[in-house]
Amino acid sequence: MSFKLEKIVIEPQTPATACVIWLHGLGDSGAGFAPVVPVLGLAGQHSIRFIFPHAPEQAVTINGGFVMRSWYDIKSMDLHDRADIQGVMASEQAIRQLIVEQINSGIPADKIVLAGFSQGGVMSLFTGLRFEQKLAGIMALSCYLPGGETLPEQLADANAHTAILQHHGVQDDVVPMFAGKMAYDALIAAGYQSTWKTYPMAHSVLPNQLADIGQWLQQVLK
């Protein structure tokens, strides 16, 4: 199953030489995160294109089968059986298409950051770790690994040393902090270079966190 993602694209004032693909969470859309760009504190003449795709609409089991934007079905609250892996892999293909489109437009893979919040963070980790070309960075906010403490299969050597940023709210009652920490521990145990930071928040993002993210983006996209 393959599908093309609709998206919001925010171009920099100067010609784009880098790109951030930012994936939203369950029930949201690309419009939910598009307003963060001015809050990141990037230099006025930055050359980063931001892409905020919309997940497809589908029924979500834990929400009583209600149809909403979702990267995959959430079958249960059990971390080891939460993500419908077929749905994860279908969305991975669509996200890979976005990355390849950017590469074909002249932006090298190592100038592309794959970012995501919650379900989108699950997808950024899963897709980024398996992508065959080195990316500039992988950002995973308030999320978990589809396999709990198990890394995805068919990991790509190209991204074995790619910078990973993981943020989580200590009061998160949607994706408990231990789920994010479990993902971090699995990445570190496997030799990945991940940075873990917590914030005094629930399942959300904070202005000072966005400023930290802006600094990280400028660092990995130098």
Q: Which residues are annotated as catalytic?
A: 118, 172, 203
**27 vs 56: CA distance, rounded Å:** 10
**164 vs 124: CA distance, rounded Å:** 10
- For residue 210, which of 20, 18, 2 has the smallest C-alpha distance? 20
- For residue 50, which of 19, 29, 82, 5 has the smallest C-alpha distance? 19
Q: Are 10 and 21 in contact (CB under 8 A)?
A: no
Numbers of helices and strands, H then E, in the chain: 4, 9
Burial of 20 (0-12, 13-18, 19+ CB in 10 A): buried
| 102 residue type, one letter | Q
